Chain A
Amino acid sequence: MKTLEEAKQAVIDDFSMYDEWLDKYEYLIDLGKNLEEYPEDQKTEDKLIKGCQSRVWLDSKVEDGRLFFKADSDAIITKGIISLLISVYSGRNPKEIAEDDFGFIGEIGLKENLSPTRANGLVSMIERIKELARESVGHEPQGEVLTAEDAKELAPLYDNVIMAIKQVYDPEIPVNVYDLGLIYELVINKKHEVFIKMTFTAPTCPMADEVLAEVKKSVADVPGITGCEVELTFEPPWDQSMLSEEARIELGMD
């Protein structure tokens, strides 16, 4: 698969073959006609992109940590535009999509050459793609395919990260957040970015923000780690059965 930059360059190259905008439209129409079919029964209201003059449906799914799009429109040039976006972005890491600036659209002059209503439509399409990508970030590392080498390489990092998390204590109970069972998910991807999903003993914890920041900092300081994201969740709610063996002993519960 091409890298994101290569895919963008390919579109820029394709577009630059034509001088006239009529020919560029012709190219977009072709792309539109060849876009993979979108099932009629999935053209539902929630898949419609708001802000386009024509109707545009966009749907996505995460597979193996990558985000795939499919789309349709009743207007063929719009369909060509969305097809072009899909050819560049579909099948990529959601984080990469969410963080992209989509600047190459400006480079091919697409936005400037659309009617204002359609230019707004294009902006809405890009926004929707980014939104779907953002929603998928955090779900994505679990799906990453790890080879045996990868797993071996990541194993010591896991140990060190857990050690780092164990440095952070609950503000009310004298047990660290790891042994308290507050860490619901811990994933390190191939780029050595850490994704943590954690909770608190009660949704009203007044120190929540400080604790989250502390976890993040402590993990980010682990040598070899390139980034850390901590997501707060209360699903499922924490209860005492989540305490580790050490914590139970510590608290004299057994």
Chain B
Amino acid sequence: MTINDIRDMFPALGQQVYSRPLVYFDNAATSQRLENAVRRLDGLALGANANIHRAVHKLASDATEEYESTRDAVRDFLNAESREEILFTSGTTASINLVAYSFGETFINEGDEIIVSEEEHHSNIVPWQLLCERKKAVLKVIGIDDEGHLKIDELKTLLTSRTKLVAVTQVSNVLGIVNPVKQIVNLCHSMNCPVLVDGAQGIVHVGVDVRDLDCDFYAFSGHKLYAATGTGVLYGKKKWLEKMVPFMGGGEMIGSVKFTGTTYAPLPGKFEAGTQNINAVPTLKDSISFLSMINKDDELQRELRSVDEYMYSSLSQIKGENEVRLFGVPRGTERKIPLYSFVVQGAHHEDLALILDKMGIAVRSGQMCAEPLMDRFGVTGMVRVSLAPYNTMAEAEYFIKSLGKAVSMLA
């Protein structure tokens, strides 16, 4: 299979902007949607549309089957031990907030400590700040070195008997380096401290085997994974989920409701209160089959690698007056996903993004929901180019040429 075959599966890629072919390089913010996923969503909304679990009729049982078979597919995709450990949410942010609330209410007390890193997305910072405020707990931060690596040694000194949770990202949405999450999990577990991994970017390019990684929680979003918006997953180890108090109360999450006291439904229902995103969640199945298809296609993987290598080496080679400074420089055998955040000397990130836009290229500029990381590197923002398996060599070459033109306009 070639990249061009992949492109055919994403109708949005065929459009033009300002009479130029669209070059979509903002995939880390949200990917384009698989046609299959959109068709499934449509089909469910226009056909097998009924509320799940609640009724005995045919449509309800079809809808329930679509929804619950997605849970099985996700369990298999993550290699989780049981389907009860897979909770559907509206996305990474909702998944992390669920843990911050439910784990927090159950296990966090005054003076306890939570650790995050300096490279976290705001979604993996603010819920913990809110929790710490509620519980008078303490938030500690693992630093980043100049090349964008987590300072694992710092984690060793930050971890104490009071640390109740460590929340780190598998891959930063700015730096793109694949973090040594396995090492982090081992380290934390040696101190009896559970770990939440933010997989929003990691799931897209790296994937996860939650049993091998042994993390306690793993969160990701469907919309970055070619599926419908408003879908997401929280994987949580049963031993935690069973003890955690519910996040939201409502229908479906209950065992029995009495004014003298209510009992909760068993997992996973306990954490899925109210009508779920029943038309959209099943599109995660399309993501999963798409990923397994492309991951085993060696020819395609070679082609994708060459686009990635071209981008990385071209950007690294821009020196001189308008030098490109890349953030997140992998060392040795370290992996970096095809995501490049940079600043260009003498050209503002916002100006670059604006001019590239007029050339038909969609890139991201600004703080990218990671203000502490911007402060760490002393910049007000960056330009970010993030690729998907449908981005071609021709697009990459056009981008490098256009970037040069944009810079010369600004310099």
Contacts and interface: CB of A to CB of B under 8 A. Distances in A.
A21 B366 CA distance: 22
A201 interface: no
A26 B405 CA distance: 12
A118 B350 contact: yes
B18 interface: yes
A21 B410 contact: no
A53 B366 contact: yes
Looking at chain B's contact residues, the main secondary structure is helix
B348 A75 contact: yes
Interface string A45-71: 000000001110000000000000000
Interface string A20-38: 0110011001000000000
Contacts of A25: 354-355, 358, 409
Contacts of A159: none
A21 B354 CA distance: 11
A177 to B, nearest CB: 54
Interface in A1-43: 21-22, 25-26, 29
Interface residues of B, number: 18
A74 B358 contact: no
B409 A78 contact: no
B351 interface: yes
Interface string B312-350: 000000000000000000000000000000000001111
Nearest to A20: B358
A76 B348 CA distance: 7
B380 A74 contact: yes
B380 A54 contact: yes
A25 B349 CA distance: 15
A22 B358 contact: yes
B219 interface: no
Given A53-B366, A53-B381, A55-B380, A115 B357 contact: yes
A115 B351 CA distance: 11
Given A53-B365, A53-B381, A74-B380, A22 B355 contact: yes
B131 interface: no
A76 B410 contact: yes
Contacts of A76: 347-348, 351, 410
B284 interface: no
Given A22-B355, A75-B350, 20 more contacts: A21-B358, A22-B358, A25-B409, A26-B409, A29-B410, A53-B365, A53-B366, A53-B381, A54-B348, A74-B348, A75-B348, A76-B347, A76-B348, A76-B410, A77-B351, A77-B355, A78-B350, A115-B353, A117-B350, A118-B350
